[in-house]
Structure 1
């Protein structure tokens, strides 16, 4: 495989994962509201402030992924977040269309993020000429 193909694959994964994180972060911010998100996380047994951290990570991390900044770090954190979410949803079965959401979607997102941990930002990132990718 040629290097530009790997760089293009990284770009496509960063765009896909970044958009998904932005969509989920803004849904938590605008639709569910920060306090509603915090209450939901609390109902799952997490401290309330984890809901606020999730919103900040999903929006901030999504933007960083789109720009190709700190891709490996953001993606590693996303892997951890998605593995936790996969276990939370595992009691609901496989399909995300099940009541409460299944585990197939967060598992897929964890593997997508893991791919970016391995690939890095690639040369199609805003800081590529300054950083080793």
Structure 2
């Protein structure tokens, strides 16, 4: 029973994190546009190429998480990305609802991704089904 609980927890974490990432990536792609996202990243002092990589990572990495592909790698990269984002937003205070966004949301996402890194994809994933 306990193994099934861990596998269901992994599934829930993968879907939650994956959907959030795909949604944020698609927002950057279709609402803010790649050029607008790159301009915003430039205001933060980041190279424009980072914006394009972020959009691709959020959409592709999010889809990979949903299906359970390369879960630990994507989760670890997510932890790194979210820590960087939390640092970028740290001057804006705790609440992500603050002007400029705070660091609460990226910190939560980093911890969620870290939990997924430790749990792994679980058996309810493409990798888990392949291994059966």
Q: Report the TM-score range of the alignment, normalised by the length of the smaller protein.
A: over 0.9
> 2:72 is matched with which residue?
72
> 2:129 is matched with which residue?
129
> 1:4 is matched with which residue?
4
Runs of 4+ residues over 6 Å off in structure 1: none
2:51 alignment partner, SS class: helix
> 1:88 is matched with which residue?
88
> 1:115 is matched with which residue?
115
CA RMSD of aligned residues (A): 1.2
Unaligned runs of 5+ in 1: none
Separation (CA, whole Å) in 1 of partners of 2:72 and 2:32: 29
Separation (CA, whole Å) in 1 of partners of 2:47 and 2:4: 44
Within-5 A mapping of 1:94-109? 94-109=94-109
In terms of fraction of residues, the more helix-rich structure is 2
> Does residue 57 of structure 2 align to residue 54 of structure 1?
no
- Superimposed CA distance per residue, residues 14-64 of structure 1 (whole angstroms, 9 cap, x where no aligned partner): 000001001100000000000111111111111110000000000000100
1:59 alignment partner, SS class: helix
What is the aligned length?
A: 132
Q: TM-score, normalized by length of structure 2?
A: 0.97
> Does residue 39 of structure 2 align to residue 39 of structure 1?
yes
1:129 alignment partner, SS class: helix
